[in-house]
């Protein structure tokens, strides 16, 4: 496998965005409050019709009295910008795909009708179809599989539907005991293997074409239906994505499956614990692209090419210099050998295209979108190559835009018109010198009416990952963005060492230096905001979730300058984390080895051993069933602060939740507790007496 060098050339810019988002200045007279969060709709998946007349999309909203959000199917007409809601059932409608004639939209849905247990109304996921006019017809069930389907693909000619089902298999060892006690959960030995079926949409006859011992995580059918690419793992355990995921290809002619990523293909990678994200066929079916992502290292881009009469040749593609590829976002431009993907660059996310990928060659990288915005998803119009995007800016949450023929993107939707009246925070990018004198960026949010030179209570909001980044866009976020600025706080979201979008070195510098270099980056950012007169040094807070919770724990164990903290789902001890989380490769990558080989690294990377220094009142959040950062960390932190250090502390455990909070009540509680906590120690009710109260108090 030939490794190509990182590319430094970037071709001519295709489209810009400045004029597209310009609007008449609205009257912004609404102060953002907590409940405004639940009025925001979010666009998920989009699909451009082949003729370019429509863009279908999924929209997720809170619809009381239901405690969880619902997702429905919508469509917008590109010429008139008229939107139409197509589905109304609380059934999780997703994965829209157009028929070749642009008249119908296929999608998945788990529809339930009364006490009906039979498909398609038994509550299991099926494929449905609806006419684009929506009102003229109701959805029609395409599949009626007893236990539902997993994923699906519509053939390019619209005549065949491919879908997956599951088959339970039990290992021979201990098979009898596992069979006798089926209601127990076993760590291994019982697996739901995937099957692929082929449904003829004329005869409505289904044929099973793949049934081997593999779990399929993604599936793509080539346009000529000669090959089916599968992202597979040997088991259902999430850990097997780390280093065990592979790409298999079914050949419809030979009816055989071959592995494109053969044994040894990971040799020479930055880490053996990478996972494959998505697969994508070129229009001619001759090239298959996929990404390989890591914790702590840049995402790699691969392509497998088939030439006549031979197998696939796999190689790594060169990446644009300074750009972090977002795994699983690649799409081939219709009728070309140009591969597009979303790349992160200094808190922006844009669409890039790597051209002329063929026969071992590749051309320059072109930037298909320019400007200060964040692209969350995109699709190409098959007939024209126009680009449909989900895009957010500092002035509005993500909406759908269309760029045709190199024109300025045209805004097609405005799904959150209420935001036009909100007093949005002042959002800017700030820069300071971090550890070693290197440049570090962050997103700064200030109250809309803030007077320059007036110090404010400031909260440092730390993103998770850490292989992620805070973006230069408007975001109403349960972890602080938008709401805290509206309450009079300055909010600093640092893109510390290890963040994406700042080049390979900036990301990889964190490996082997957790609880060290990134902590210094953040503290120097705080110093910079104090020096600029933005932050009041006597009223500093810190908060974060996941890796942000870990860094919150690190910071309060390092310094007492923070007067309040909110730690969500944060690691306290790296050995515990390696032993109990569902993706242990994360810890191994950053610690650069296993606990028994590098006990010193695990100790220095763990805030646990410095807890004796903590005096910061700390609010702790965790999901009861969090598999990524299990609640043992939160409970240990709580025990240390309350019973041994007598630091004001509260522990909130959210029943039934995993690594994220999903229900209305839990998200509202999280934000309400954070506001009350920071107001108690930093805000208008903060007083010297607050620090002198009973050290055992949990208020």
User: Residue 215 belongs to a domain with what CATH number?
Assistant: 2.130.10.120
Is residue 433 located within the same domain as residue 412? no
For residue 638, CA distances in Å to 206, 251, 388, 661 come to: 56, 56, 48, 20
Per-residue pLDDT at 687 exceeds 90: no
CA distance 219 to 280: 9
Residue 379 covered by a domain: yes
In this predicted structure, what is the pLDDT of residue 358?
87
Per-residue pLDDT at 195 exceeds 70: yes
pLDDT digits (tens, 9 = 90+) for 552-586: 999 999 999 999 999 999 999 999 999 999 999 99
Residue 523 covered by a domain: yes
When divided into structural domains, the chain yields a total of 2
CA distance 471 to 445: 12
Residue 292 covered by a domain: yes
CA distance 599 to 127: 51
CA distance 535 to 689: 22
Residue 25 covered by a domain: no
In this predicted structure, what is the pLDDT of residue 79?
96
Per-residue pLDDT at 693 exceeds 70: no
Per-residue pLDDT at 535 exceeds 50: yes
CA atoms within 13 A on the CB side of 563: 22
pLDDT bracket for residue 309 (50, 70, 90): low
Is residue 103 located within the same domain as residue 170? yes
Lowest mean pLDDT among 309-313, 502-506, 674-678: 309-313
Backbone angles phi, psi at 233, to 5 degrees: -135, 160
Per-residue pLDDT at 19 exceeds 60: no
Q: In which element (H, E) is residue 689 found?
A: helix 688-691
Is residue 369 located within the same domain as residue 456? no
Q: At what angle do helices 547-558 and 517-531 cross, to 10 degrees?
A: 70
For residue 129, CA distances in Å to 50, 83, 133, 457 come to: 16, 18, 12, 53
Is residue 552 located within the same domain as residue 444? yes
pLDDT digits (tens, 9 = 90+) for 24-38: 567 999 999 999 999
- Among 402, 419, 436, give the residue marking a domain's end: 419
CA distance 457 to 99: 54
Residue 33 covered by a domain: no
Nearest residue to 329 via CA among 395, 376, 373: 376
- Coil, strand, or helix at residue 235? coil
Strands (E), 222-273: 227-233, 246-251, 256-259
In this predicted structure, what is the pLDDT of residue 193?
95
Is residue 362 located within the same domain as residue 442? no
Q: Does residue 55 contact residue 402 with C-beta atoms inside 8 Å? A: yes
| Residue predicted with more confidence, 170 or 504 | 504
CA distance 283 to 302: 17
Is residue 647 located within the same domain as residue 587? yes
Q: Dihedral sign for Cα 177, 182, 186, 189, please.
A: positive
Looking at residues 396-421, what average pLDDT do you find?
Answer: 93
Looking at residues 181-185, what average pLDDT do you find?
Answer: 91
Order across the sheet with 246-251: list the strands: 215-221, 227-233, 246-251, 256-259
Nearest residue to 462 via CA among 425, 508, 498, 495: 495
CATH classification at residue 662? 3.40.50.1820
Is residue 383 located within the same domain as residue 453? no
In this predicted structure, what is the pLDDT of residue 486?
96
Is residue 182 located within the same domain as residue 276? yes
Q: Does residue 312 contact residue 261 with C-beta atoms inside 8 Å? A: no
In the predicted model, what is the mean pLDDT of the chain? Answer: 92
Lowest mean pLDDT among 61-65, 214-218, 284-288, 625-629: 61-65
Pairing outcome for strands 152-154 and 331-332: unpaired
Per-residue pLDDT at 130 exceeds 50: yes
In this predicted structure, what is the pLDDT of residue 10?
36
Is residue 567 located within the same domain as residue 617? yes
In this predicted structure, what is the pLDDT of residue 187?
87
| Runs of H (alpha helix) within 294-353 | none
Range of the domain at 588: 425-686
Q: Does residue 619 contact residue 679 with C-beta atoms inside 8 Å? A: no
CA distance 172 to 352: 49
- Among 386, 419, 452, give the residue marking a domain's end: 419
Q: Does residue 546 contact residue 622 with C-beta atoms inside 8 Å? A: no
CA distance 273 to 281: 25
Per-residue pLDDT at 12 exceeds 90: no
Q: Does residue 381 contact residue 388 with C-beta atoms inside 8 Å? A: yes
| Runs of H (alpha helix) within 439-482 | none
| Residue predicted with more confidence, 188 or 82 | 82
pLDDT bracket for residue 691 (50, 70, 90): very low
Residue 5 covered by a domain: no
pLDDT digits (tens, 9 = 90+) for 282-291: 999 999 999 9
Lowest mean pLDDT among 41-45, 261-265, 531-535, 594-598: 261-265
- Coil, strand, or helix at residue 571? coil
CA distance 471 to 468: 9
Per-residue pLDDT at 91 exceeds 50: yes
Nearest residue to 630 via CA among 581, 574, 573, 567: 581
Quick one: what percent of the chain has pLDDT higher than 70?
93
3-state helix, strand, coil in the chain (%, to 5): 20, 35, 45
pLDDT bracket for residue 22 (50, 70, 90): very low
Looking at residues 302-329, what average pLDDT do you find?
Answer: 90
Question: Omega before 222 cis (within 30°)?
Answer: no
CA distance 123 to 111: 5
CA distance 304 to 294: 20
Residue 281 covered by a domain: yes
Residue 111 Ramachandran class (φ > 0 left, ψ -120 to 50 alpha, else beta): beta
Looking at residues 124-149, what average pLDDT do you find?
Answer: 91
DSSP state of 189: S
Residue 105 covered by a domain: yes
pLDDT digits (tens, 9 = 90+) for 200-248: 999 999 999 999 999 999 999 999 999 999 999 998 887 888 999 999 9
pLDDT digits (tens, 9 = 90+) for 644-655: 999 999 999 999
Cβ contacts of residue 510 below 8 Å, gap of 6+? Answer: 296, 466, 497, 498, 517, 518, 590
pLDDT digits (tens, 9 = 90+) for 132-141: 986 567 899 9
CA distance 610 to 614: 8
Is residue 138 located within the same domain as residue 232? yes
Q: Which two tokens stand for residue 269?
A: 């990678």
Q: Does residue 446 contact residue 430 with C-beta atoms inside 8 Å? A: no
In this predicted structure, what is the pLDDT of residue 308?
66
Is residue 312 located within the same domain as residue 232? yes
In this predicted structure, what is the pLDDT of residue 406?
72
CA atoms within 13 A on the CB side of 286: 14
CA angle 639, 642, 646 (to 5 degrees): 140
Is residue 292 located within the same domain as residue 368? yes
- Among 419, 452, 481, give the residue marking a domain's end: 419
């Amino acid at each position: 496998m030939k490794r190509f060098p990182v590319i430094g050339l970037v071709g001519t810019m295709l489209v810009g965005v400045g004029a597209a988002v310009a609007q008449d200045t609205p009257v912004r007279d609404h102060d953002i409050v907590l409940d405004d969060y639940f009025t925001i709709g979010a666009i998920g998946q989009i699909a451009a019709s082949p003729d370019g007349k429509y863009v279908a999309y999924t929209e997720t909203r809170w619809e009381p009295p239901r405690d969880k959000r619902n997702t429905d199917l919508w469509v917008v007409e590109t010429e008139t910008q008229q939107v139409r809601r197509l589905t109304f059932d609380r059934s999780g409608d997703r994965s829209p795909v157009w028929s070749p004639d642009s008249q119908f939209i296929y999608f998945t849905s788990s529809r339930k009708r009364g006490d009906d247990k039979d498909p398609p109304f038994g509550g299991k996921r099926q494929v449905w179809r609806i006419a684009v006019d929506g009102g003229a017809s109701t959805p029609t069930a395409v599949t009626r599989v007893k236990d539902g389907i997993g994923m699906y693909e519509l053939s390019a000619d619209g005549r065949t539907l491919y879908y997956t089902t599951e088959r339970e298999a039990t290992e021979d060892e201990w098979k009898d005991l596992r069979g006798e006690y089926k209601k127990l959960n076993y760590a291994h030995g019982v697996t739901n293997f995937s099957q692929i079926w082929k449904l003829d949409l004329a005869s409505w006859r289904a044929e099973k074409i793949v049934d081997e011992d593999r779990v399929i995580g993604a599936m793509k059918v080539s346009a000529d239906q000669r090959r089916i690419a599968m992202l597979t793992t040997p088991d259902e355990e999430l850990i097997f994505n780390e280093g065990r995921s592979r790409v298999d290809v079914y050949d419809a002619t030979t009816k055989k499956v071959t592995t494109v990523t053969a044994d040894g293909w990971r040799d020479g990678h930055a880490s053996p614990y990478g996972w494959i994200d998505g697969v994508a066929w070129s229009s001619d079916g001759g090239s298959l692209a996929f990404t390989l992502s890591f914790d702590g290292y840049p995402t790699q881009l691969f392509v497998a090419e088939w030439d006549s009469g031979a197998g696939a040749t796999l190689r790594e593609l060169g990446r644009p210099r300074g750009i972090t590829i977002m795994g699983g976002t690649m799409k081939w431009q219709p009728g070309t050998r140009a591969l597009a993907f979303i790349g992160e660059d200094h808190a922006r996310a844009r669409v890039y295209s790597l051209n002329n990928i063929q026969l071992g060659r590749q051309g320059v990288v072109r930037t298909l979108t320019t400007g200060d915005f964040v692209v969350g998803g995109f699709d190409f119009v098959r007939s024209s190559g126009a680009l449909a995007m989900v895009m957010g800016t500092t002035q509005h949450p993500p909406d759908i835009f269309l760029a045709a023929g190199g024109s300025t993107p045209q805004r097609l939707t405005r799904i959150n018109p209420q935001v036009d009246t909100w007093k949005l925070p002042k959002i800017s990018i700030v820069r300071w010198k971090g550890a070693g004198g290197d440049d570090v960026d962050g997103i700064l949010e200030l109250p809309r009416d803030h007077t320059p030179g007036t110090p404010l209570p400031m909260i440092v909001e730390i993103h998770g990952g850490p292989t992620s980044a805070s973006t230069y866009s408007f975001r109403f976020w349960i972890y602080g963005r938008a709401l805290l600025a509206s309450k009079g706080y300055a909010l600093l979201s640092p893109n510390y060492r290890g963040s994406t979008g700042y080049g390979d070195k900036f990301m990889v510098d964190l490996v082997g230096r957790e609880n060290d270099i990134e902590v210094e980056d953040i503290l120097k950012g705080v110093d910079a905001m104090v020096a600029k007169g933005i932050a009041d040094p006597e009223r500093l807070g810190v908060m974060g979730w996941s890796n942000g919770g870990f860094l919150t724990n690190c910071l309060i164990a390092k310094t007492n300058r923070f007067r309040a903290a909110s730690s969500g789902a944060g690691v306290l001890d790296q050995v515990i984390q390696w032993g109990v989380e569902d993706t242990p490769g994360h810890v191994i990558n950053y610690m650069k080895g296993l606990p028994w080989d590098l006990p010193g690294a695990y100790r220095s990377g763990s805030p646990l051993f410095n807890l004796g220094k903590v005096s910061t009142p700390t609010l702790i959040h965790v999901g009861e069933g969090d598999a990524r950062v299990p609640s043992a960390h939160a409970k240990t932190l709580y025990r240390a602060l309350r019973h041994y250090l007598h630091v004001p502390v509260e522990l909130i455990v959210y029943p039934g939740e995993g690594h994220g909070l999903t229900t209305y009540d839990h998200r509202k509680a999280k934000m309400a507790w954070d506001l009350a906590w920071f107001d108690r120690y930093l805000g208008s009710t903060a007083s010297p007496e607050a620090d002198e109260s009973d050290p055992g108090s949990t208020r």
